[in-house]
């Protein structure tokens, strides 16, 4: 585990040297006005990002072979230029295997991933429909896929944009789905649960999180809905006797979960379970955005009487923290 994080650097005295592991998020060749080449880096860990400069790239203490996505050990010092924090890099080498943990280098869920995974497995175990159960069991039996499912963020920037974010979002949805399925007997509960677990599974291929969160080229051209459909389709092809109709319904759940054509779903929800999945997915993403925004306002020291900033995920709406506002008003 790291000793020093990006968030710690901000309080450092200027000029004081330190050693620290980072993930290289960007690496660019640049020149000064006097045409002296230097390296401009963006280094990150799970607490944030910081700009860094290698003024003498030819220095033997600066590794030649590192790239975007590498873990590196840096010796440097901290400075500020017009409110912009910067690291001056004196030494830099690639981290040795085991020296640093990638999970420390990108923002990650605050939940325990093992517990979340156990929740997911409990949901699979709870299925009464044998075909859906063997479909999910087969998928999650692929250890590489299961590992990716545990790591993947739910998005590059919006809701749950951190390692483990996909799993965290799915587990929250599983809780909601069970509550809502109990409320509407019309719903085929097992199909809804299956849809929750599979709806975003293509994100483990659409996104990559080795070197920051980004889309793969295949992800940009095909999209996670499509990639999820192909993945599930292939798994089903390996399950003899899987009912055709059930296959169609499961694929329809994935295809339609964005709820509108203009949100990238090529089909609107046309079965009740797909309708509910779209609602709950949207609600959970928005509730997470609300919670994040309230945390951000608190971090920024906003008074309870102030609305939050404009929230991208809610059409640039501003929000009010009901509980905080009511509490602040009690003494009035």
How far apart are alpha carbons 155 and 120 in whole angstroms? 19
Q: Which residues pair with 2 in a beta bridge?
A: none
Q: Rounded to an integer, what distance in angstroms lies between the CA atom of residue 81 and that of residue 53?
A: 13
We find the least distance from the C-beta atom of residue 153 to its own copies, in angstroms, to be: 19
Name the one residue in this structure whose structure tokens are 């849809």: 195
> To the nearest whole angstrom, how small is the minimum distance from the Cβ of residue 103 to its own copies?
26
Contacting its own copies within 266-285 (CB under 8 A): 266-273, 275-276, 279, 282-283
Residues 33-92 that bind its own copies (CB under 8 A): 33, 80
Query: Interaction with its own copies in 9-38: which residues (CB under 8 A)?
Result: 14, 33
180 binds its own copies (CB under 8 A): yes
Nearer to its own copies among residue 7 and residue 101 (C-beta): 7
Among 142, 230, 298, 300, binds its own copies (CB under 8 A): 230
Subset of residues 96 to 135 that bind its own copies, contact rule: CB under 8 A: none
- Spatial contact of 17 and 76, defined as CB atoms under 8 Å apart: yes
Do the Cβ atoms of 246 and 132 come closer than 8 Å? Answer: yes
Q: Which of 128, 238, 244, 299 binds its own copies (CB under 8 A)?
A: 244
With contact defined as beta carbons under 8 Å apart, do 107 and 163 qualify? yes
Beta-bridge mates of residue 41: 27, 52
Please report how close the Cβ of residue 70 comes to its own copies at its closest, in angstroms.
17
Which of these ranges, 97-105, 141-149, 152-160, 254-262, lies near its own copies under the rule CB under 8 A?
A: 254-262
Of 49-57, 105-113, 134-142, 185-193, the segment contacting its own copies by CB under 8 A is: 185-193
- Of 102-110, 148-156, 163-171, 249-257, the window that binds its own copies (rule: CB under 8 A) is 249-257
Among 132, 140, 127, 139, residue whose Cα is nearest residue 247: 132
C-alpha separations of 103 from 97, 165, 167, 204, 209 in Å? 14, 13, 15, 16, 10
What's the closest the beta carbon of residue 196 comes to its own copies, in angstroms? 13
Interface with its own copies in residues 150-179 (CB under 8 A): 172, 175-176, 179
Query: Which residue, 109 or 308, is less far from its own copies as judged by CB?
Result: 308
What is the size of the binding site for its own copies (CB under 8 A)? Answer: 75
Is there binding between residue 299 and its own copies (CB under 8 A)?
no
Binding segment for its own copies (CB under 8 A), chosen from 15-23, 94-102, 154-162, 288-296, is: 288-296
């Amino acid at each position: 585990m790291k000793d020093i994080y990006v968030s710690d650097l901000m309080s450092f005295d200027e000029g004081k040297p330190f050693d620290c592991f980072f993930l290289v998020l960007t690496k660019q060749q640049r020149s000064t006005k006097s045409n002296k080449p230097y390296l401009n880096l963006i280094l990150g860990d799970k607490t944030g990002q910081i700009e860094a400069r290698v003024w003498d790239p030819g220095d033997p203490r600066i590794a030649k072979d590192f790239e975007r996505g590498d873990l590196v050990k840096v010796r440097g010092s901290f400075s500020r230029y017009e409110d912009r924090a910067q690291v001056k890099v004196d030494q830099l080498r690639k981290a040795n295997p085991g020296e640093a943990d990638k999970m420390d280098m990108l923002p990650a869920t605050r939940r325990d991933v093992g517990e979340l995974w156990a929740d997911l497995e409990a949901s699979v175990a709870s299925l009464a429909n044998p075909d859906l159960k063997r479909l999910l069991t087969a998928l999650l039996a692929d250890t590489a896929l299961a590992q990716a499912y545990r790591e993947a963020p739910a998005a590059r920037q919006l809701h749950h944009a951190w390692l483990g974010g996909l799993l965290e979002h799915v587990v929250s949805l599983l809780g909601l789905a069970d509550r809502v399925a109990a409320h509407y007997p019309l719903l085929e509960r097992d199909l809804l649960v299956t849809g929750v677990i599979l709806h975003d599974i293509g994100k483990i291929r659409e996104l990559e999180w080795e070197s920051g969160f980004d889309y793969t080229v295949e992800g940009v051209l095909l999209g996670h809905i499509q990639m999820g459909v192909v993945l599930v389709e292939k798994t089903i092809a390996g399950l003899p006797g899987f009912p055709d109709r059930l296959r169609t319904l499961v694929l329809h759940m994935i295809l339609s979960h964005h709820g509108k054509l203009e949100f990238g779903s090529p089909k609107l929800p046309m079965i009740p379970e797909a309708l509910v999945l779209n609602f709950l997915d949207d609600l959970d993403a928005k509730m997470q955005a609300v919670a994040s925004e309230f945390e951000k306002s608190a971090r920024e020291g906003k008074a309870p009487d102030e609305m939050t900033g404009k929230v991208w995920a809610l059409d640039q709406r501003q929000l009010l923290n009901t509980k905080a506002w009511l509490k602040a008003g009690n003494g009035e």
